[in-house]
Amino acid sequence: MSNKYEAVIGLEVHVELKSKTKIFCSCSTEFGGEPNTRVCPVCLGMPGAMPRLNKKVVELAIRTGLGLNAEITKNCHFDRKNYYYPDMPKNYQTSQFYSPIIRNGYLDIEVDGTTKRVNISFAHMEEDAGKLIHAGDNILEADQSLVDFNRAGVPLLEIVSAPDIRTPEEAREYVAALKAILEYLEVSDCKMQEGSLRCDANVSIRPVGSTELGTRTELKNMNSLRAIERSIRYEIQRQIQVVEEGGQIQEETRTWNEGKGITEAMRPKLSSGHYRCFTEHNLPPLAIDEAWIEEIRSNLPELPEARKRRLIDEVGLPEYDAKVITASKRLADFFDETVAEYSDAKKVSNWIMVELLRLLNAKGIEIEDCPVRPGQLAQLLAMIDKGEISGKMAKDIFEKMFDTGKDPKTLVEELGLKQISDTGALEAMIDEVLAANPKSVEDFRNGKDKAFGFLVGQVMRASKGQANPKLVNEILRKKL
């Protein structure tokens, strides 16, 4: 970034709350399903249909607020946010405008080794809208769109950060940290691909040193952490260029085009005044009593920061390992379950960070769908220690475990991969190699150490990689 400007970023994150039923009716919230089959008069917005608030949704919202160090608004209510668009047949979204259930929280993030606090201004409950499916997947080019109301009425929590974020990296880290906390709290699935966590980014620039906020644009349609970082980076550069060329930033909503790697103007931004929000009188005001909040507080699970500390202090992991492993609750669970059966924690963390994460990444699989179970990784590590397989073989076997879900023992037998540790068999093999390579033997005896490595390599080759390398070394040295 040009050092004349600084970026100012505020994020609005919508998360789907993990409730079996919708926020104001008893339709199922399950993802998928034939279009328009999980609907009723309430979530279709039929005139006269009366909403009823789902208690579970309020509980999940409170839980989130407590996890984000926030205040809970004990007396709050819902409002109508009026707009006209085919995804919402009522022509208003039931949301909380005047009294969000959560206020004044914060989240600490770490970027480049420094900790930074991002304030969370508020978070409010609302209903999701229906889903528009644009022909060709591109809203700007589609000549027709279909609508599916299964998602209408699914409970959302919109978490709004203060404009405290300054770089694309911080934005990414904020969303990653928020996602981790929400997963630990078990309030949302947080699947960006399925849309259960969506992020809008508000971006502006200003001259370095200025304390005023510049005109912002709002970015939508980012489906991954990477897309959040990339879209913001692009948008900052675009804004700098507009300003440098003497132009003005338009306050507008822009859509991220993942294929082209650019943001594109979509519509002028509507400010809250345009929505003419007013209280929803079909729902009574919501009074939350202290005792309920305290009950929820007393049941809060361990959060990422505390778990990271525990892995450092009690399990003895280096800080870096602990951070990578606790970034996802499911990964941390995988670690704990493996260590329960194989006690060398550092070795387990190495395998998780290097092999497991690499394969998950390469195959595009989430940890919860990982075909290898923690007990199977523990078995594999024990087999290396017993000398049944070499470390190198273990890596190949691990990849096969990943592809087939089979136990390492089964795979070793099926593939005939057992490490050869039988001294008699190894001696015979080594004798053959020595007889076939008299020149190398002579070289070695004349002080050329390289020749030794070559001979070891020949034995490993003859055994198809299955000879126990430690024993090969010992026997070879003896024979030479």
In the complex, the residues that contact ligand ADP under the rule CB under 6 A are: 8-12, 160-163, 202-204, 213-214, 216, 271-272
To ligand ADP, the closest distance from the beta carbon of 163 in angstroms equals 4
To ligand ADP, the closest distance from the beta carbon of 61 in angstroms equals 18
To Zn ion, the closest distance from the beta carbon of 131 in angstroms equals 15
Q: Alpha-carbon distance 338 to 377, whole Å?
A: 7
Residue of this chain nearest to ligand ADP (CB atom): 10
| 202 interacts with, out of ligand ADP, Zn ion, none, CB within 5 to 8 A per kind | ligand ADP
To ligand ADP, the closest distance from the beta carbon of 165 in angstroms equals 8
Taking residues 27 to 56 in sequence order and writing x for each that binds Zn ion by CB under 5 A, - otherwise, the string is x------------x-xx-------------
| 160 interacts with, out of ligand ADP, Zn ion, none, CB within 5 to 8 A per kind | ligand ADP
| 175 interacts with, out of ligand ADP, Zn ion, none, CB within 5 to 8 A per kind | none
> For the chain, what is the total number of helices (H) and then of strands (E)?
16, 16
Residue 181 or residue 471: which is nearer to ligand ADP going by CB?
181
> Buried b / exposed e across 232-245, counting CB within 10 Å, b at 16+?
bbbbbebbbeebee
Q: Alpha-carbon distance 18 to 132, whole Å?
A: 22
Q: Alpha-carbon distance 196 to 476, whole Å?
A: 60
To ligand ADP, the closest distance from the beta carbon of 159 in angstroms equals 9
To ligand ADP, the closest distance from the beta carbon of 125 in angstroms equals 15
Residue 202 or residue 468: which is nearer to ligand ADP going by CB?
202
The gap from C-alpha 16 to its chain's centroid, in whole angstroms, comes to 15
Widest distance between CA atoms in the chain: 98
Which range binds Zn ion by CB under 5 A, 24-32, 106-114, 172-180, 235-243?
A: 24-32
To ligand ADP, the closest distance from the beta carbon of 390 in angstroms equals 53
Q: What angle do CA 133, 156, 125 make, to 5 degrees?
A: 140
Residue 123 or residue 325: which is nearer to ligand ADP going by CB?
123
Q: Alpha-carbon distance 294 to 86, whole Å?
A: 41
| 204 interacts with, out of ligand ADP, Zn ion, none, CB within 5 to 8 A per kind | ligand ADP
| 43 interacts with, out of Zn ion, ligand ADP, none, CB within 5 to 8 A per kind | Zn ion
Q: Which of 348, 393, 402 is nearest to 372 (CA)?
A: 402
Q: In what order do the strands lie in the sheet containing 278-279?
A: 92-95, 79-82, 278-279
> Buried b / exposed e across 97-134, counting CB within 10 Å, b at 16+?
bebbbbbebebebebeeeebebbbbbbbbbbbbbbeee
Q: Which of 208, 207, 234, 204 is nearest to 217 (CA)?
A: 204
- The angle, 0 to 180 degrees and rounded to 10, between the axes of the packed helices 391-404 and 374-385 is 160
What is the bridge-based pairing of β-strands 217-222 and 197-207?
A: antiparallel
Residue 9 or residue 88: which is nearer to ligand ADP going by CB?
9
Residue 45 or residue 100: which is nearer to Zn ion going by CB?
45
Q: Alpha-carbon distance 85 to 87, whole Å?
A: 6
Chosen residue from 13, 15, 23, 25 binding Zn ion by CB under 5 A: 25
If one asks whether residue 360 binds Zn ion (CB under 5 A), the answer comes out as no
| 75 interacts with, out of Zn ion, ligand ADP, none, CB within 5 to 8 A per kind | none
Positions that interact with Zn ion (CB under 5 A): 25, 27, 40, 42-43
